[in-house]
Amino acid sequence: MIPTILVIEDEPAIQELLAINLKHGGFDVIRAGSAEEGLSFIRAALPDLLILDWMLPAQSGISLAKKLRSDDRTKELPIILLTARVHEEDKILGLEAGADDYVTKPFSPKELVARVRAVLRRRAPHLAGEEIEIGGLKLNPATHRVTSGDQTIELGPSEFRLLFYLMTRPERVHTRAQLLDGVWGDHVFIEERTVDVHIRRLRAALEPYGHHDRIETVRGTGYRFCGN
């Protein structure tokens, strides 16, 4: 699975430099020139990480970071703040606003890509291609293989993405709308009950291996993947 990085930067040359290096580093890149434009992308589909410039026209990067941290849907979005400021107190302000890391301009593109990888490894190990294992059920994001013991579990593409989403967010209750947004992207027109169809198929595929009970129905709300 290729992580999607949203870059919000108003200086075209820096935006271009970031995009080229991130693409070269194996990431999908979406670009925005303002906090408002960035927010509209985030509303359409959550990126896996945000590179956010501090000094933006109209709304600042710090103000946007605080807004994202106070919203349930975006509070766990990894954020790297980018800025020309070098003072220690600004760094503290940035980290207090909820940034995971802080890169000062001018930066080395190689170092920035390394920081992106480090933040993803820490905040979202599955995006770094590492295998996820819960109670003997293993999912490998790099090879798209799902296994139980030495047996391979065959899943359709939607069921694989759904299982990936659930296994990387265990113990949380997900509404159908959240699953649609996270698994299919909410810009895609799919009815909420379609989620139930895919959950049923996923449970059926896991049943022969005894993992179907991990997907719990939370009455009136949605679904939870049992992580213990």
Judged by the rule CB under 5 A, the positions of this chain that interact with Ca ion are 10, 53, 55
Confirm if 14 and 105 have CB atoms less than 8 A apart: yes
Nearest to Ca ion by Cβ — which residue?
55
Q: Are strands 173-175 and 79-83 parallel, antiparallel or unpaired?
A: unpaired
Strand order in the sheet with 173-175: 173-175, 222-225, 215-218
Alpha-carbon span 228 to 42, nearest angstrom: 31
What is Dmax (Cα atoms) for the chain? Answer: 58
- Shortest Å, Cβ 99 to Ca ion: 15
- Shortest Å, Cβ 105 to Ca ion: 9
Alpha-carbon span 151 to 41, nearest angstrom: 39
The one-letter code for the residue type at 97 is: A
Of residues 53 and 101, the one with the C-beta less far from Ca ion: 53
- Shortest Å, Cβ 150 to Ca ion: 53
Of residues 35 and 215, the one with the C-beta less far from Ca ion: 35
- Shortest Å, Cβ 104 to Ca ion: 13
Of residues 55 and 134, the one with the C-beta less far from Ca ion: 55
- Shortest Å, Cβ 16 to Ca ion: 13
Of residues 11 and 186, the one with the C-beta less far from Ca ion: 11
Q: Is 220 left (phi over 0), alpha (psi -120 to 50) or beta?
A: left
Q: What backbone phi and psi angles, to 5 degrees, belong to 146?
A: -115, 130
- Shortest Å, Cβ 83 to Ca ion: 8
Structure tokens at 161: 């993405």
Alpha-carbon span 67 to 177, nearest angstrom: 21
